[in-house]
Amino acid sequence: MTRLVLFDIDLTLVTTHGAGRSAMTEAFRQLFGIDDSTRGISFDGRTDHAIFLETLARHGLATGNGAAYQQAVEGYLHHLPAVLRAKGGQVLPGVIDLLDALQREGIPVGLATGNMRRGARAKLSHFGLWERFAAGGFGDATADRSEVVAMAIAGLAAAAGVTADPAACIVIGDTPLDVEAAHRTGARALAVATGSHPVDALSASGAEWVLPGLAATGDLLRILRG
């Protein structure tokens, strides 16, 4: 059985200091004349598809993937690179060392993220990480995070030339939604308290492993090899 490892992006691999929310807010301001469009809307662990649909519906702009949706998405993707540069952000502690160690071990790594593929590429390219991941599942067309994980498992298995076995997969993320999505697909979850959810909340979500972050490379490798 070949181990597969899938990573969330925001507040698991990197922090962008809210670049995604800011880029989306700016897109809505320029396109629709709406200030502070995302106030009160949760981004935590959700897919971009769900976030865009909720924001559009809240402002009476759309109820599906029509013209307003497409405009909002393209506006967001247009603004995102500049906002990333302005916000700065950083790769979280231990991430580079862990990715290097997984590469040395020959363990395939991919993405299971609520970000749209082009948004994920913009964020990770900003930090020089995009090419580190062989495949991924993205939040372009679904509000269901478990569908993202299922797509990621299939894509990474195909890239690695192995059977797509969810039981061989460990999903690493920072929210209870990451844990739930992993379990709904038959994968296991390693939760890190690098976002807004503390260790006790992540433990209560049912994650098989909960760590403060990704800095303990040796401990992580023992988990991810097993």
pLDDT at 32 > cutoff 80: yes
Q: How many domains does the chain have?
A: 2
| Same-domain status, 26 and 64 | yes
Across the chain, mean pLDDT equals: 96
> pTM for this one?
0.96
Taking only the tens place, the pLDDT of each residue in 124-140 is: 999 999 999 999 999 99
Do 36 and 28 touch, CB atoms closer than 8 A?
Answer: no
Taking only the tens place, the pLDDT of each residue in 61-115 is: 976 778 999 999 999 999 999 999 999 999 999 999 999 999 999 999 999 999 9
| Same-domain status, 56 and 111 | no
Select from 87, 113, 143 the last residue of a domain. Answer: 87
Report the CATH number that the domain containing residue 46 is assigned in CATH.
1.10.150
| Same-domain status, 183 and 108 | yes
| Same-domain status, 219 and 154 | yes
Select from 87, 114, 147 the last residue of a domain. Answer: 87
**pLDDT score for 168:** 96
| Same-domain status, 110 and 72 | no
**pLDDT score for 163:** 94
pLDDT at 120 > cutoff 80: yes
Taking only the tens place, the pLDDT of each residue in 141-163 is: 999 999 999 999 999 999 999 99
Q: Is 211 helix (H, G, I), strand (E, B) or coil?
A: strand
Domain hosting 62: range is 19-87
pLDDT at 55 > cutoff 80: yes
| Same-domain status, 127 and 26 | no
Nearest-angstrom CA–CA distance, 151 and 110: 11
User: What is the mean pLDDT of the segment spanning 15-32?
Assistant: 97
Find how far residue 106's CA is from the centre of its chain: 22
pLDDT at 35 > cutoff 90: yes
Nearest-angstrom CA–CA distance, 32 and 201: 38
| Same-domain status, 38 and 12 | no
Nearest-angstrom CA–CA distance, 129 and 122: 10
| Same-domain status, 118 and 9 | yes
| Same-domain status, 173 and 104 | yes
| Same-domain status, 132 and 194 | yes
Mark out the alpha helices in the chain (DSSP H runs). 19-32, 48-58, 67-87, 95-105, 117-126, 145-160, 176-185, 199-204, 217-225
